Amino acid sequence: MVFSGQNNCPDGKMSSPSTTAANRVVNSSHSAAGAAATYTTIPIPASGVVQRSIQNFYAYFNRCRPWPEFLSTANTFDLPASTSDVWIRLRRNSNYFAVNYSILISCCAAASLLGTPILLAVVVLLFALWLILYFFREDPIVVFGRHIGDQLVIAVLVIGSALILWITGVLNNLLIGVGVGISLSAIHGIFRNPEGLFLDEDDAVLNGLVSNSHDGGIS
């Protein structure tokens, strides 16, 4: 039996070794592209997770409005015109002064524990764990090479917080402090006239300060 040096093709043409090699390169590149499309987040060390969470916290803290603007003058405080105006003021002020209100509530909660510095330090540490491990965390937590899911993180934080609050007995004081902070924030949000406070151009358009031009810009 005699074997021919040519490959039988439907069109009668011979496929050269260079063509076969090129096809293999193309197929391998397609396989690599398909493999690259399915990727997972590369875990980083625990120190990197904490560092990035702290950076996110500072970025959020830098959004704090100037306290002179928060307190402002007596001219910026007046009675709302109607019930609907109350909700409008609360919504706009809570968006604009969100960081200031968070700081105010936190300070009131801390002030409720000034009589017990050790318990205050424990609660501050617990609050810091919530901020670092949950609220401002972007990266996955990896412990001994195993990924820790968000549900497990929340469960550990909730159970740990409940145990600490039950053992220390500071829950009532914290609730009073947080309640005072929320009340002060609500009073400020109701009586602070938000006229002239706009987060961005979209909010300004929504509140009628400026209007959209025909080409989609701001006029």
Per-residue pLDDT tens digits for 44-86 = 777 788 899 999 999 999 999 999 999 887 788 999 999 999 9
- Cβ-in-10-Å burial (0-12, 13-18, 19+) of 89 comes to buried
What is the pLDDT at residue 18? 46
What is the pLDDT at residue 128? 95
What is the pLDDT at residue 9? 45
Choose among 84, 67, 8: nearest CA to 188: 67
What is the pLDDT at residue 82? 92
Location of structure tokens 């197929």: 27
What is the pLDDT at residue 202? 52
Distance CA(185)–CA(74), nearest Å, equals 17
Distance CA(125)–CA(131), nearest Å, equals 10
3-class SS of residue 89: helix
What is the pLDDT at residue 99? 96
**Regions of the chain with pLDDT less than 70:** 1-43, 198-219
Cβ–Cβ under 8 Å, residues 148 and 154: no
What is the pLDDT at residue 196? 73
Cβ–Cβ under 8 Å, residues 156 and 90: no
